[in-house]
């Protein structure tokens, strides 16, 4: 296939690939059959939407896409146990992971119990450094001594010993991480990624699983003449978790996010309203806001602050408490970015020294903060198009996090290492995983992981191709066009938004912003111009090449969005790559 615009190696080292011929044909057929705008049809065709499905896809109804919760194993058991706890006024504890998915899952249950008139449950989120991921024996032993029911959310599927230690209490697990060959001794384990599940719900995040459990609880309540809370009002939390946990925006996930964004726009939940304010969001929320503005701030507490701050914020029902926690999280997020930058630079240098052409890219450093290793692993993965592991060493152990690329199941490989005894513990899902490794076995473990990933083809690809949906000129990038394309959204993992190239353009303004970002303006030489921003441009060659352009012309590629400033809304290009225009 010929490279798009002849770009075999862009400024970021990528080959540009244009739309497939078959996609163009489908888009043309859809435009004729539906009278929808051609750019929208192009996006729908790439997403695999048939012409007769276009109207339904553009207006997804949750009632049509919501699966029957009872298709998941243990679901009815888990829901009936929750109802029993409510009717018996039992003492309930919620044990949650320290990330956004865990925090939103906990907040969903707390919110539901509050509406049912229950005393607020005990919220327990382990400290990332002192306790690590998931239930542990001391915590579960203590909780079991004081509670009748422990609900583990976004964790617990692999916690056999910890759940066995919960003597005197019953444990319900609501999770989505890859399960092992055996299940822990819990009262119920609801997880679409249990090895004995055969359904098609593996793409759900934990908050999605919790939501389905609450749907089932509502069904059981109605059967006995009772009414549960309004679950639709809770979809703002499910939307945040789905995007922040990088769950694919397909099927019911897309409906969760689309409806959840509408709920969030009402600004009725104190925690999300306060968080949006400290993040200086002045427009209606979209998927980008969830993933890059709200999600990182919720995560900040679990990364470098107090682990339960994010969940407490999301579950808060008072404005004063929510505002105080949101301000604290915003401050912690700033600290997190500073710590991340230091670790990122050191990890990138180490990885390049070790070599980035193999099936695995990895780095380890003394005292690297466990709260940022996952983010840095994402940066390494993005820069190399390889699965990446970043490990923070402390004493005789290292705690690490990994991120994978499409087609490579990192979670299964990490779980294999743990079963072979090369890791103290480890688990996750296809695209992300966590691990704890003994310092003296780290090199051996990474060599074995590299071998396992090589079998999946991880070392056989170069820099990721940049896939483009077509060409536009600056004058065509209008608010109306952006609104038309957004009708096919929300966009994210599993359903990427369209990416366009603006060919043969001249840069008329360029300025470096704080945080290694680049702001620029470009035009086509015929009077039309467009603003653009390239986040993290100076982390690679893109920033300096465009900043010091010397009058050269470029093809500029990225995604369109809107920017609101001073009450005025304009279109801007979120620039991702560029290439010389010859």
Please give the backbone phi and psi of residue 73, each rounded to the nearest 5 degrees, phi first.
-65, 145
Per-block mean pLDDT, blocks of 10 residues, the chain (582 long): 90 91 92 90 93 92 95 98 98 96 98 96 92 93 98 97 97 95 97 94 97 98 95 98 94 96 97 97 91 95 90 97 97 93 95 92 95 93 92 95 92 94 91 93 97 91 81 93 92 92 96 91 92 91 92 96 84 96 84
Q: What is the pLDDT of residue 564?
A: 80
Exposed/middle/buried for residue 403 (C-beta within 10 Å: 0-12, 13-18, 19+): buried
Q: Report residue 408 as tokens.
A: 């490579």
Is 387 strand, coil or helix?
A: coil
Residue carrying the six token digits 């907040």: 107
What is the Cα–Cα distance from 44 to 485, expressed in whole angstroms? Answer: 9
- The partner residues of 501 in beta bridges, in order of sequence, read 471, 557
Q: Where do the domains of the chain lie, and which CATH numbers do they carry?
A: 65-330 (3.90.1640.30), 347-455 (3.10.310.30), 468-580 (2.40.50.460)
Q: What is the pLDDT of residue 449?
A: 97
Residue carrying the six token digits 């409806």: 259
Residue carrying the six token digits 């996609």: 23
CB 77 within 8 A of CB 220: no
Which parts of 328-367 are beta strand (E)? 361-366
Q: How many CA atoms lie within 13 A of 296 on its CB side?
A: 19
The secondary structure of 381-399 as a DSSP string is HHHHTS-EEEEEEETTEEE
CB 362 within 8 A of CB 390: yes
Q: What is the pLDDT of residue 582?
A: 75
Q: What is the pLDDT of residue 1?
A: 63
């Amino acid at each position: 296939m010929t490279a798009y615009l002849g770009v075999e190696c862009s400024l970021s080292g990528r080959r540009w690939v244009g739309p497939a011929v078959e996609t163009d044909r489908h888009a043309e057929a859809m435009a004729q059959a539906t009278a929808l705008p051609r750019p929208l049809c192009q996006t729908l065709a790439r997403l695999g939407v048939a012409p007769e499905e276009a109207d339904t896809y553009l207006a997804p109804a949750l009632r049509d896409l919501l699966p029957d919760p009872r298709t998941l194993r243990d679901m009815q058991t888990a829901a009936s146990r929750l109802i029993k706890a409510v009717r018996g006024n039992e003492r309930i504890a919620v044990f949650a992971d320290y990330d956004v998915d865990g925090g939103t899952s906990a907040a969903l249950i707390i919110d539901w119990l509050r509406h049912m008139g229950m005393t607020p449950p005990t919220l327990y989120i382990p400290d990332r450094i002192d306790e690590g991921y998931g239930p542990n024996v001391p915590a579960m032993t203590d909780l079991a001594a004081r509670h009748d029911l422990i609900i583990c959310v976004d964790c617990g599927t692999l916690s056999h010993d910890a759940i066995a230690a919960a003597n005197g209490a019953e444990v319900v697990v609501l999770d989505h991480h890859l399960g092992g060959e055996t299940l822990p001794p819990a009262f119920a384990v609801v997880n679409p990624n249990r090895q004995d599940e055969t359904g098609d719900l593996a793409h759900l995040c934990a908050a999605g699983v919790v939501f389905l459990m609450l749907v089932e609880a509502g069904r059981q309540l109605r059967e006995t003449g009772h009414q549960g809370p309004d679950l639709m009002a809770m979809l703002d939390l499910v939307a945040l978790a789905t995007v922040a946990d990088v769950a694919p925006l397909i099927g019911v996930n897309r409906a969760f996010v689309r409806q959840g964004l509408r709920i969030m726009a009402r600004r009725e939940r104190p925690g999300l309203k306060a968080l949006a304010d400290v993040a200086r969001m002045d427009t209606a929320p979209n998927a980008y806001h969830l993933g890059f503005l709200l999600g990182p701030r919720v995560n900040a507490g679990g990364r470098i602050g107090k682990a339960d701050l994010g969940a407490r914020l999301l579950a808060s029902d008072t404005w004063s408490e929510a505002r105080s926690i949101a301000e604290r999280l915003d401050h912690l997020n700033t600290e997190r970015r500073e710590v991340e930058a230091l670790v990122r630079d050191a990890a990138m240098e180490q990885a390049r020294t070790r070599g980035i052409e193999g099936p695995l890219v990895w780095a380890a450093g003394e005292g690297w903060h466990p709260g940022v290793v996952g983010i840095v692993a994402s940066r390494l993965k993005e820069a190399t198009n390889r699965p990446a592991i970043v490990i923070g060493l402390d004493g005789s152990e290292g705690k690490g996090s990994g991120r994978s690329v499409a087609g490579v199941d990192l979670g299964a490989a990490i779980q294999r290492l743990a079963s072979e005894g090369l890791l103290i513990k480890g688990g996750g899902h296809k695209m992300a995983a966590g691990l704890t490794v003994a310092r003296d076995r780290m090199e051996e473990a990474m060599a074995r992981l590299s071998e396992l990933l090589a079998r999946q083809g991880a070392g056989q690809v170069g820099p990721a191709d940049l896939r483009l949906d077509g060409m536009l000129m600056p004058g065509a990038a209008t608010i109306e066009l952006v609104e038309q394309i957004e009708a096919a959204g929300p966009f994210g993992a599993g359903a990427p938004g369209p990416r366009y190239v603006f060919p043969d353009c001249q840069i008329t303004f360029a300025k470096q912003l704080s945080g290694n970002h680049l702001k620029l303006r470009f035009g086509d030489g015929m009077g039309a111009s467009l603003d653009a921003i390239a986040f993290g441009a100076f982390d690679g060659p893109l920033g300096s090449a465009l900043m010091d352009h010397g009058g050269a012309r470029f093809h500029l590629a990225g995604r369109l969005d809107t920017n609101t400033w001073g009450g005025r809304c304009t279109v801007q290009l979120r620039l991702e790559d560029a290439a010389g225009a010859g």
